[in-house]
Structure formats: C-alpha cells, structure tokens
Chains A and B, each alone.
Chain A
Amino acid sequence: MSSSEKQQEARASLVAVAQEPGAPKPDPILVAVGVQRQFGGLTAVDVSRFELQRGTITALIGPNGAGKTTFFNLLTGFDKPNEGEWTFDGRSLAGMPAYKVARTGMVRTFQLTKALSKMTVMQNMLLGAPNQKGENFFRGLIPGIWSGQEKANRERAEELLRHFKLDAKADDFAGSLSGGQRKLLEMARALMVQPELVMLDEPMAGVNPALKQSLLDHIRELREAGMTVLFVEHDMDMVRDVSDWVVVMAQGEIVAEGTPREVMQQQAVIDAYLGEHHSVSLDSGSGS
C-alpha cells in the first residue's frame, strides 16, 4: 500500500503523542472527559479522558462487552450518560439530541446496518442531504421551491453512488442489496450529510473478504478527503492495516492507546483480549 501525503501527515501529527490512555493530542476534534454510563449496577462506560486527533483514522477496539458501542451511542447522542462532558470542534455536545449532533458534522453508522429497505437506494441517499427546503411541510407542497436543490442533491448522490459502485442499484429498493452493499450504502448516505467526523460502528462486520478491502479503501479515502474517522472494530488485522491510532477499551475503560504496531504489544491489551497471565503477543504470526 502506498502511503499518501494525508496518511504521512496524520501519522506525523501523532508521533509526539504519549502511548497511554487519555493521551492529549495536538489538534483534537473530539474531547471527552469523565463520561460514565451505568445500567443498573453495571458500569458499561467509564472513560476519564479521550481525545481524537483531527484528520486521522482512529480505531476503537476491545473485546465483546467492552463498551465500545455504548461509548459511540453516548458521544452521538443516542444514549445519555450518567455524567460527563464532551466537545466536538470546541462545541459542547452533552445533552444534545442525536439529530443535532449529526447536524454539527459528526455522523455515525450502525453496527446492524440501517438501510431503509423499503425505499430506493437513491431515496436513502437523498434523505441524508442537510438543510433541505422541501423538508418543511408547506414548502414541500410546492415543488418549485425545492426542485432545484433536489436536483443538486441528486447529482451529488449519483457521484457518491458511482464512487461506491452502487450507481447501477440507484433505483432498486435498498432491501434488495447484499449485506456488504448495505454497509457501503450506509457509508455513502452518511457522507451526504457532509460530515467532518465519520463514526463507523463495525463497518466490516458481516462483509465478505473481497468487499472488506474495498471498504478499507473507502475509509482511507475519507481521510484523503479531509475527514476524521473513528471506527469500532474487532478484527486486529483490519485495524493494523488502516488505522493511524488505536484506542483499546476493556470493561468500559480505555486501557491503552497508541500506534497500531505498538499498542498490540502492550500487556494491558493482551490481558484485555486473552485474559490475564498470557504472555503471547497479539502481533505474532502476522509476518510483519
């Protein structure tokens, strides 16, 4: 894989960052402090500090039940924390409803893909476009008011669909797509919102190996286009390949942070994945 300028830039920005949980970043786009979520007696998430470097691809990894998705839900307003503060681009998001979070430029996808299956692929895409005049009931009744904007949105959607190789499916119902194509559609639809930060919850889950590579390429392209990416993933190989920085969660807390190569060596990460008292490196056998 050729390393692009943006990748070098992203990795260079993280060189001086300490490889420890909660490490401060030189230019954080997202900062979370003291975010806690309890379900009854169980503390699902307890993140004392988390910073996300702008323009990077950051992976959030951890074993099942580590609280990754819950943390995602909290940051994006889909769940409310018991306590905690977080800012996106300097704006406080705590207590903000999910739809407003999305409007600030922080858009997420879901672990279980939410393609709107009884709408066409194109309708799915158009739904993502922000600030539509025709989304007001009264203005919607008069096509002249919104048709121009609709046309522009449609062109942008067609371009994205071509890019994600879904253009041939534009008029098909989203329910007829394969699992991998739905993941692609969900990503393309999120891009219609014109986000600055894209948060992908297990984008590779249930996708065949061939499509995984193309998904990885798409994730890289998000960074090339100047966006920041935070994604949840299980598969270590995927993480190593694409991410500039890795954050490891276990039992609700961030237990390690660092570059992909180094974080895999850390005892806390090995403990989290394999249980304590293991001396095996997770990186062994990868041929690196």
Chain B
Amino acid sequence: MDIGLILNQSITQGLGVQAVIFALAAIGLNVHFGYTGLLNFGQAAFLAVAAYGLGVTVATLGFSLWVGLIVGVLAAVVLALILGIPTLRLRADYLAIVTIATAEIVRLVVRSVTLRDIFGGSDGINRFADEFYALNPFSSGLALGPLTFSRNDLFVVVVGWLLVLLSCLIVFLAMRSPWGRVLKGIREDEEAVRSLGKNVYSYKMQALVVGGVLGCLGGFVFAISSQSVQPDNYGTDLTFFAWAAMILGGAARVFGPVLGSILFWFLLVFINVTLTEAVRVGYITFIDGTQVGQIQFWILGLTLMLLMIFRPQGILGDKRELAFDVK
C-alpha cells in the first residue's frame, strides 16, 4: 500500500475545490438550520441557480463574467423569496418538503430538452470562465508537501478559501448582532419572539435569503472551477453532503460547516484510496476496484452514525445549544 499516495490525495481533496464548494453550501445551511431552525433540504437549488445564472449570462447571452456573478446572486435571492413566501408562514416541515421538491424542479428544468438552447440540456454550459482565469496571479502550480494543485486550480482554491473566510466573517458578525439573536430566538420558539414585537416572517425570509446567497457562492466556485455547469451535479446528494458536513463540524458554530466539509472530503477520499490500494495490493480480495465507490459511502455513513451517537452536537458544537437527539 502506498501510504504517501493515500495521504497526498486525501489532504489535497480535503483542502481542494470540492471542500470549498461544500463548505460554502454548508455555511448557508448553517444560517438556515443552525441559527434559524429552517429545514432547507434544497440547498442544491441555490447553487444551481447561481451557477446557471452565471453560465447563461456569459455563454448564452454574451455578457461579462462579472455581470454573470450579479445575475447569479439575484437568482439566489429570487429563489429564496419564491420558496419563502408560501411556506414560511407554515410549520417548519412544509419548508422541508417544498425545498426538496424545488431543487428537483430546478434540476429538471435546466436539463430539459425544450430549453436546450438556453441551458444546454444534460450537457450543460461550458467554457464561460476564461475571464476569471485571465486574472490568475500565480505563475505556476503548487507542490507543497502533500498538496498538489495545478496553476488554475491553485487560483480557484485560493479565491475559494478567501470566500469561505469572508462568509465566516459575515456569519460571525451577523450572529453576534441583535439580528442574529432574533434568529436564534425564532429557532427556539417563534411564538415567543412574535409576542415580543418581532416580525418573525420577515426574519425567516431574511435568513433564507442570506443563507441562500452564501450557499450560492459555492455554485460559482463549482461552475468556475470546472468551467462548466451540468444539471446532474446539483442533485439531492449535493444537498445532503452539505448537511452531513454541517452536522459533522457542528451546527450553529461559525467554523463548524468549514471543518465539517474539510473532514468530509478528507474521509471520503481517504476511505476510497485506501480501499482501492488495499484491493490493488491484494489485502482485500472479496471486493474489486469497481465496488469501492459504493463501499466508501457505507463506511462514511457508518462513521456519521457513530458521530451522531457519541457526539450529536458535531465536533465544534455546544451540546447545550444544539444537538441531535438520536435516542
């Protein structure tokens, strides 16, 4: 077994572009669920509308990348309003149902044959981020210990982690403010907050918009890093990986989703490469290399279950504030 290879790949992925994307998605979810108690099971839709907003504006309509980014953010805001207006007056579970359905609707609309001229069908939209890479200040890639990034990847990853830090700063400032206090109050008991003269509906809407916009930054990173948007990248698994990352790191904690996302991708790749290597060398004989893909998720799922049993508040979480009751 090549231990060096296993660690190199795991660490590179744990700090790589996937971790950035899921960290941003999970930071948004944390505003929704961790702080406000909103069950958003459609975070993928926020990433999708941002990525498609960018892609369509640049590739289909021919505007610049910067216009595309603005369109993407506006699309996320509009999506939050569409989701929130009918559901935020209802009980929390309705939002969960509507968001999961909406995310699927968004995915099916952009991959539809009828709208192929706009969204590119199942092939998606490609090559719209040259303007971004033209700004790359790095002259070469990075090969620092276990970390290896190509020149372009390095630029995306650095910009991505800066976005993560900026998002964390916004969450940190917002949640220590009286605004964040209202959100936490709503998470605990919205009737009580209402009885104190706060417009609960408006605050829930604001939380949905803020979390959606933070999550949509992950959509930009996803789209730009691969120079493509493809509908099937924005399925329900994206949403639930982001949930897993948030819960793993600890909800209602500023850095919880970031740590969670790093660990999630580190673990996923670590399990995958370790199994692949073990099969290749012959330590494991009862599965073959093609089955590793499934088994890595079994093991990851088991790991998450154990975490929920022994540390239901996540790694950074405070049990007194937010924990999942698995009993």
Q: Which residues in A have some Cβ–Cβ distance to B below 8 Å?
A: 76, 78, 97-100, 102-103, 107-110, 114-119, 123, 126-128, 130, 132-137, 140-143, 146, 150, 173, 175, 189-190, 192-193
Contacts and interface: CB of A to CB of B under 8 A. Distances in A.
A143 B177 contact: yes
Per DSSP, are chain B's interface residues mostly helix, strand or loop, or mixed?
helix
Interface of B: 170, 173-174, 176-182, 184-185, 187-189, 191-200, 206, 210, 320-322
A184 B149 CA distance: 59
Contacts of A134: 177-179
A141 B206 contact: no
A119 B178 contact: no
A103 B176 CA distance: 24
B27 to A, nearest CB: 15
Given A118-B321, A140-B174, 11 more contacts: A78-B191, A78-B195, A110-B195, A123-B185, A127-B185, A130-B197, A134-B179, A141-B174, A146-B178, A173-B321, A193-B196
A250 B111 CA distance: 62
A143 B178 CA distance: 10
7 contacts: A114-B191, A115-B192, A116-B193, A118-B322, A135-B198, A137-B179, A146-B177
A105 to B, nearest CB: 9
Contacts of B197: 99-100, 102-103, 107, 130, 193
Contacts of B182: 127, 135
A146 B177 CA distance: 8
A190 B194 CA distance: 11
Contact of B191 (A110, A128, A132, A142): A110
Nearest to A117: B188
Nearest first, the 3 closest Cβ-Cβ pairs linking A and B are: A140-B177, A140-B179, A134-B178
Contacts of A118: 184, 187-188, 320-322
Contacts of A141: 170, 173-174, 177
Contacts of B187: 118
Contacts of B185: 116, 119, 123, 127
Contacts of A127: 181-182, 185, 193, 196, 198
A96 to B, nearest CB: 12
Contacts of B174: 137, 140-141
A134 to B, nearest CB: 4
A130 B199 CA distance: 12
Nearest to B170: A141
B179 A114 contact: no
Contacts of B177: 134-135, 140-141, 143, 146
A97 B191 CA distance: 12
B184 A123 contact: yes
Contacts of A190: 195-196
B321 to A, nearest CB: 5
B180 A140 contact: yes
Contacts of B195: 76, 78, 98, 102, 107-110, 114, 190
